[in-house]
Amino acid sequence: MKDYFSVLGISEESTVLEIKKAYFALVRKHPPDRFGQEFMEIREAYETLSNEETRKEYQEFAALHDQHREEFEWAQEAIQERDYEYAIEVLEELTQQYAHLLILQKILGEAYLKNENPGKAVRIFEQLHRKQPKNAAFAGYLAQSYLKRGWHKKAIKAFKIALELDEDNVSLWTEYAEAWIKSKQYAEAKHVLLIALSKEKDKDELGIYLRLLQIDVVSKQFTDMKEHLAQLKDLANKEKQITEHIAWVLAQIGMQLITEEYNAEGNILLEEAVILAPTDKDIKQFKDFAQKRAKYLPEINRLKDDTRVHRIVSEFIICKVFPTNLLGINEAMKNYVIRSNMLEIMTNIEQYTRSIQVIKDNYTDLYEAEKEFFQQLTDPRQRQKFLRSNAKKVRKRRNKLFDMDLIDDLTEEFGDFEDEFMQREEPYVREQPKVGRNEPCPCGSGRKYKHCCGKG
């Protein structure tokens, strides 16, 4: 199990007040929007150590048998890798052997939640809450479980109980607001967050203001959005160390608005993000994409329905212009689609000449974006040079995707684009039978292949 004292940067003799002080300082440095994994570790450490009973259990955890401690570490590793089913399998066995350790049951309940098994999570956290009714973390996770089940009223009631037990837990306030959001009660959600702001000045003001801004966006209350944006800018001026994070979240929300066709409001947030963090490369990419999208989207929408343009050509252009998050595929898939389609066009230029001419005559901006490639097509020497330099790259990338079990995903996203060029390639033959990532490792360790010899 992780060293929670080290996570919070405190000693084993630290008081509850010292634990809370360390928690407040760390959540300001690791907001959940940008540092999800780190934030969860900080929260887990705080919730465990700030409660006297779970703190004692944590300190008793070292008494576990070495093999069982190792199994628990496997489960934690699986949770980080999002292999929740394996983690649950291990944790269920451990909780049977160490039924008295409620902290193990809590982690199992969290795994159920992450694996979309809220019914099982409800049963665990109801039992834990009955055993320790003054444990704020158990009440909070029970509320989360209710919320996952869609039981909004029960969730709201449980969050109230959790906050009565620990009003300093920032996550409980934002999750309580989320329960009201799920009920579409946006005014109540904002009211909850404003109460949180009024409690103590040491609280995570940044996280709360950002959540208010997100509620404005969800409810499309753009007047309130501008007001909360001004408050965030004031906060950034007072605390320079959080400026970068504010800019990053503004850029994310701005992109969300732009993809939902709220271009004016989205661009306001992107502009503020650039002002706050002018040298941030990611934010600059967001801004560049917004400009590209405004420029190319009208032509892209027309192109999708243009039967004069071959699918291979339109697919190539769309993949080149748009980023992976809008295409719904990862970078490896995107690069494979682009290169394989480029090779197909280069190899069978006669088949695609008419499509390219239609692009040139009717889609000026898209043609200009890929003008260099289209001009290469008219030069036989350039075509041969391109084919020689890229054929191996496509074959290698295809084999890698095949090993990663992603080829089926590619076909599902784009259809069967194994073109004539790729069909002429020698078939890929494995030297040894394939071992599935979720199958037992051939080395005999008893662990899944992806957690053993197949790791990495």
- pLDDT at position 126 is 96
* Whether residue 239 is found in the same domain as residue 267: yes
pLDDT band of 415, cuts 50, 70, 90: very low
Whether residue 398 sits in one domain with residue 356: yes
Give yes or no: residues 316 and 418 share one domain.
Answer: yes
Query: Is 68 within a domain?
Result: no
> Are residues 315 and 406 both part of a single domain?
yes
For residues 292 and 324, membership in a common domain is answered with no
Which residue, 291, 222, 227, is CA-closest to 255? 291
The predicted pLDDT at position 64 comes to: 67
Residues 360 and 453 occupy one common structural domain: no
Tokens 């590209």 map to which residue? 292
Question: What is the mean predicted confidence (pLDDT) over 379-391?
Answer: 75
Which long-range CB contacts under 8 A does 282-286 form with residues at least 24 apart?
Answer: 282/248, 282/251, 283/247, 283/248, 283/251, 285/323, 286/251, 286/252, 286/254, 286/255
Look at residue 401 and tell me if it is in a domain.
Answer: yes
Q: Among 62-66, 201-205, 420-424, where is mean pLDDT lowest?
A: 420-424
Domain membership flag for residue 379: yes
**Domain with 443 in it:** 427-456
The 8 Å CB, 24+ separation contacts for 451-455 are 451/74, 451/77, 451/78, 451/81, 451/83, 451/86
pLDDT score, position 396? 55
Strand, helix or coil for residue 448: strand
- DSSP state for residue 1 in the 8-state scheme: -
Structural domain total, the chain: 3
Considering 268, 296, 324, which residue would you say is the last residue of a domain?
Answer: 296
Q: 368 with 390, same domain?
A: yes
On the question of pLDDT at 431 being above 50, the answer is: no
Q: Are 296 and 357 in contact (CB under 8 A)?
A: no
The backbone torsions φ and ψ at residue 371, rounded to the nearest 5 degrees and listed phi first, read: -60, -40
Sort residue 16 into left (φ over 0), alpha (ψ -120 to 50) or beta.
alpha
Q: Is residue 341 part of a domain?
A: yes
pLDDT exceeds 70 at position 322: yes
Q: In which element (H, E) is residue 345 found?
A: helix 331-347
Percentage of the chain exceeding pLDDT 90: 30
pLDDT, tens digit (0-9, with 9 covering 90-100), for 225-258 = 999 999 888 888 877 778 888 888 898 888 888 8
Q: For 393, list phi and psi in degrees, rounded to 5.
A: -60, -45
**Based on the domain organization, do 310 and 420 belong to the same domain?**
yes
**More reliable by pLDDT, 319 or 450:** 319
- Residue 443: the pLDDT is 67
380 in the same domain as 328: yes
pLDDT at 397 over 60: no
Distance CA 289, CA 297 (A): 11
| Predicted local confidence at residue 235, as pLDDT | 83
Q: Is residue 135 part of a domain?
A: no
Mean of pLDDT values over 50-68: 78
User: Is residue 89 one of the residues assigned to a domain?
Assistant: no
> What is the pLDDT at residue 419?
40
Q: Is residue 5 part of a domain?
A: no
The pLDDT assigned to 428 comes to: 39
Q: What is the mean pLDDT of the chain?
A: 82
CA nearest to 313, candidates 356, 368, 269, 365: 356
Q: How far is CA 16 from CA 21, 49, 164, 199, in A?
A: 9, 8, 17, 18
One domain for residues 313 and 411: yes
Angle at 200 between CA 195 and CA 205, to 5 degrees: 75
Q: Name the residue among 38, 43, 36 with its Cα closest to residue 20.
A: 43
- Decide which of 296, 317, 335 is a domain's last residue: 296
Residue 358 covered by a domain = yes
pLDDT of residue 362: 94
Q: Are residues 312 and 421 in the same domain?
A: yes
pLDDT in tens, 111-153: 999 999 999 999 999 999 999 999 999 999 999 999 999 999 9
Please indicate, yes or no, whether residues 420 and 431 belong to a single structural domain of this protein.
no
